[in-house]
Structure formats: C-alpha cells, structure tokens
C-alpha cells in the first residue's frame, strides 16, 4: 500500500484545521448558551423561593378561616389616610403660575356678626379650576385688489393666507370641524348644534364636504403610512366587517413600529374582499418582515415569516376548560408555554445571542408538536391540536426576532373604536365616504399613538396647501 503523498497530507491537514475551527466556534456558542441558561435557572430559583415564601404566608393567613375567605376581616382601628409616619407626604403641587389673585377680608364675624379689628395673620390657598371654552367667530371681508400683468396678460391678485381656494370657512374652522367629527366622534347633528351655539351655522353637507377636502389634503401622509407599513421589520394585520352601501364588506388595519424612532404607524383600508390578495397589496411585493396575524386562512398564502397571535389561541382554549379535564390540561399547558416565552423575551430585552434565541424557540416548538400528537378524545382539543400541527413553526417567531410582538393586540386595539362606531352608524353610505374615513382614521390613530396633535396636524397641512396655492 502506497504512503499518502505530501499534497494529500496537506489537504487532510487543512480539512482537519477547518473542522477544529468549526468545532471551536460551536463550543464557544454552546458555552454562551449554557451561561445564559444558568442565569435563567438562577433567576427561576429565586422566583421559586419567593413563591414558596408567599405560599407559606398565604397558608398561615388561611389557617383557621373558611376556605372561601381569602382576605381576613379587618380588626382594630382603621388606618389613617395618607402615607405612613416618617415617609414624605404627597399633595398637589403649588401652581408655578397664578392667573388671578384675590384678597378675602371680613368686617364682621360670620358666626355672631360682631365687628372685627385688623387682620391678625394671613393664610394662603391655591385653587385650580376650569373655565368653559368659548369659541369666537371672526368674519373677515377681504377687499382684493386685482392687477393686470402685461407679461402673463391676465389679472392677478394676492390670495388670503387663512382660507383654501373656494370655501368660505377658514382653516381653523375646517380643522375644528374634522376634530369634532373624527377625534370626538360627534354625529353631524351635534357638530351643527355645537357650532351654532358659537354663532356659526354649518349644513350637514358642508360638514361632510369639509371632511372630504381635508382627507384629500391628508392623502400624501396616508400614502407615507402605507410605505412605512411595507418597509417595516414587522407588520400586524387584522380585519373586521364593515357595511358599505348596505352590503357587507371589510375594514382592514395594519400596524407597524419603528424600533429606532419608537413611533407606531396605523393604516386602515376598506375593501370588498377578505382574501390574501388584500394583505399582499397592503404589504407590497418586496415586504420581507414578519407578519403578525391571527389564524384566518387568508394569511396562509403570504410568503415570509409569520407570528400567529397567542391571544387568539388562548382565548379559544380557555373555552375548552368547561368541557373537561382534557380541555383544562391543554389550556394550562399552552398558557404556561406562552408565559415562559413572553417572560423570557421581556427579561432579555433583545440582549440574548441569536443562537440562544433559536435554541429556545426550537425547544418550545418541540413542546407544541408533542401536544399536537397526543391522542385527544375531546373534539375541541383535536381541533386545536390540528392547528398546532399546522402552525407550530409560526408561534415563537417573536422569540427569534427582537421587536416582534407575540400577539396581534396592537392592531386589534386600533380597530376597537371603529367597531363601536360601526354599531352606532351602521357603516358607510358610499365607497367615497369609506375611503375618506380610512384616511382620517389612519392619521388620527397614528397621531394618538405618537403623541401628536391631530387638530394641529390638520391645520398645519391646510396652511401648507394655502401657501403652495398662493
């Protein structure tokens, strides 16, 4: 047998060196994972000690009482209100600015009527109160001088700076009408009544026309929200029914959050369809983030990563507790998995290395698979088991990717006010009105989440429109 050549030995040596380097790197990764797990175990042990102590205290309190009595009856004198002795008190701070000062004097005693001498001492008291807002209607007549331009060969004039071309209502009045209609959600007749008390009569058609005009001026902002949704690292989607022209259609909502600027964006869209095509249009062809959604089939065809909503899953399994031990067991197992995973993500706050995140996600996904393969006798449990078998790889995406939410609550909270509004109004009379309200609702909800002034933003946009038209 021939001895290996120098080149063969050299190649084998290089392969062994590469293998050693790979194993060394893997060893470092595993050591980091072990260190993180040791910290987690230490943290859980501390929690266990605290829970044991709390349990012993509760057992001591319950001793001698009926099992139904959780809180023992109060004995002795009731506690005095306020903070404990030795702790600094807490009271409303003294106003930094005083708008009005009054001096209160007396000539006679308010109890017996006897005449009084000069004041012996002085006591100071601060009071903060509210004055009812009063709207002041201003009516301006512009005398606009028109001039002949020999170059343009036409009459030219200076445009007013506080009104759009055409309307008789000024920018502040238009902004206030939209504020009353959208943010305060007043019906048209109450908007009319409120403005009439201030001395301004506005017809119902004029109110709707103002909202339509403002929505058109806000359309560029709305389109910017759509781009932010499509470019976000994660986007949550949801939909709810909405009647338009007397027929059942759908209001879609999308929400995303910029992790760097810590600002949220919410976008609403009305559509005749409740299909994956709408979701694909909202997210765009180049979306490569994580889609947060519930278990509705329309989200299944979407390409890319998904995070299915744990709140939807646990709400359904909580109903199984009443069906027997199997349902209660399944709910408790899933609830425990969610609590462990969400607590770990909150505790780590994005500091954990990707290898550890991947390892934990696979570990918890394995528990989901084992639950899905059990021989469930209850039909409801079998239905949930099929869902777990289908979506087990889409429930711990929030563990793998920092910044992704484990639930779809952010977009559901955005839809809730308009579900209430739907019950009152019944929907929209036209598609033009539905699209108008989608723009106004998107700007309003995004302003609310960013802490911006909706009324002020509208006024600023209208002033820019006046400036550009002048």
- Per DSSP, 1 falls in state -
Q: Tell me: the pLDDT tens digits for 205-215?
A: 999 999 999 99
pLDDT of 252-284, one tens digit each? 999 998 877 678 999 999 999 999 999 999 998
pLDDT of residue 71: 57
In angstroms, the CA 255 to CA 252 distance is 10
The pLDDT tens digits for 381-422 are 999 999 999 999 999 999 999 888 999 999 999 999 888 888
Highest mean pLDDT among 147-151, 343-347, 438-442 belongs to 438-442
Q: What is the pLDDT of residues 91-132, one digit of tens each?
A: 788 888 898 899 888 888 888 888 988 888 888 988 888 777
Quick check: 5 pLDDT over 80?
Answer: no
User: In terms of Cα–Cα distance, which of 218, 283, 294 is closest to 256?
Assistant: 283
**Token code pair at residue 18:** 């590469």
pTM over 0.75: no
Q: Classify residue 181 by its DSSP letter.
A: I
Rounded to whole angstroms, the Cα distance separating 127 from 94 reads 9
Q: What whole-number distance in Å separates Cα of residue 456 and Cα of residue 440?
A: 14
Question: What pLDDT sits at residue 15?
Answer: 81
- What is the full DSSP assignment across 61-81? HHTTS-TT--SPPP-SSPPPS
Mean pLDDT of the chain: 87
In which band, very low, low, confident or very high, does the pLDDT at 69 lie, cut at 50, 70 and 90?
Answer: very low
Strand partners, 238: 253
190 has a pLDDT exceeding 90: yes
Residue found by looking up tokens 């009482």 in the block: 65
- Which tokens sit at 295? 């278990």
pLDDT at 314 over 90: yes
User: Across-strand partners of 268?
Assistant: 253
Cα–Cα separations (whole angstroms), residue 141 to 46, 144, 160, 175: 75, 9, 10, 21
Among 439, 34, 469, CA closest to 218: 439
Q: Which residue has the higher pLDDT, 160 or 29?
A: 160
Please check the confidence at residue 315 and state whether its pLDDT lies above 90: yes
Question: What pLDDT was estimated at residue 351?
Answer: 80
d(CA 319, CA 321) in angstroms, rounded, equals 6
């Amino acid at each position: 047998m021939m001895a290996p050549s120098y080149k063969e030995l050299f190649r084998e040596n290089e392969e062994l060196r590469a293998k050693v380097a790979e194993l060394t790197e893997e060893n470092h990764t595993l050591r980091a994972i072990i260190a993180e797990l040791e910290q987690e175990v230490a943290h859980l042990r501390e929690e266990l000690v605290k829970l044991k102590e709390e349990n012993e205290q509760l057992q001591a309190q319950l001793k001698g009482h009926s099992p139904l009595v959780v809180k023992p009856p109060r004995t002795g004198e009731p506690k005095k209100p306020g903070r404990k002795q030795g702790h600094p008190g807490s009271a409303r701070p003294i106003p930094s600015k005083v708008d009005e000062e009054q001096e209160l004097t007396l000539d006679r005693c308010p109890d017996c009527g006897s005449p009084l001498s000069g004041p012996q001492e002085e006591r100071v008291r601060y009071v903060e109160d509210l004055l009812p807002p009063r709207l002041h209607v201003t009516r301006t007549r512009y005398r606009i001088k028109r001039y002949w331009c020999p170059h343009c060969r036409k009459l030219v004039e200076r445009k007013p700076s506080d009104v759009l071309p055409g309307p008789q209502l000024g920018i502040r009045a238009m902004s206030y009408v939209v504020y009353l209609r959208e943010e305060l959600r007043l019906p048209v007749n109450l908007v009319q009544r409120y403005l009439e008390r201030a001395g301004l009569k506005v017809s119902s058609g004029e109110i709707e026309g103002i909202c339509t005009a403002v929505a058109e001026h806000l359309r560029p902002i709305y389109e910017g929200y759509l781009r932010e949704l499509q470019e976000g690292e994660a986007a949550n989607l949801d939909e709810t029914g909405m009647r338009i022209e007397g027929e059942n259609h759908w209001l879609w909502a999308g929400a995303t959050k910029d992790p760097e600027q810590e600002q949220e964006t919410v976008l609403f869209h009305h559509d005749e369809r409740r299909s994956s095509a709408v979701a694909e249009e909202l997210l765009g062809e180049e979306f490569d983030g994580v889609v947060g959604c519930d278990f509705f089939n329309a989200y299944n065809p979407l390409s890319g990563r998904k995070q299915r909503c744990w709140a939807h899953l646990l709400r359904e399994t909580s109903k199984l507790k009443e069906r027997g031990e199997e349902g209660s067991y399944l709910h408790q197992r899933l609830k425990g998995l969610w609590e462990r995973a969400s607590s770990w993500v909150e505790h780590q706050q994005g500091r954990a290395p990707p290898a550890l995140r991947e390892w934990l996600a696979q570990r918890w996904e394995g528990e989901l698979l084992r639950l899905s393969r059990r021989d469930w006798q209850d039909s409801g449990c079998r239905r949930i088991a099929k869902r777990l078998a289908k979506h087990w790889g889409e429930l711990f995406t929030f563990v793998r990717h920092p910044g992704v939410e484990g639930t779809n609550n952010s977009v559901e909270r955005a839809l809730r006010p308009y579900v209430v509004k739907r019950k009152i109004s019944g929907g929209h009379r036209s598609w033009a009105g539905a699209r108008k309200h989608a723009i106004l609702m998107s700007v309003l909800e995004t302003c609310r989440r960013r802490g911006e002034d909706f009324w002020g933003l509208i006024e600023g946009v209208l002033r820019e429109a006046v400036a550009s038209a002048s």
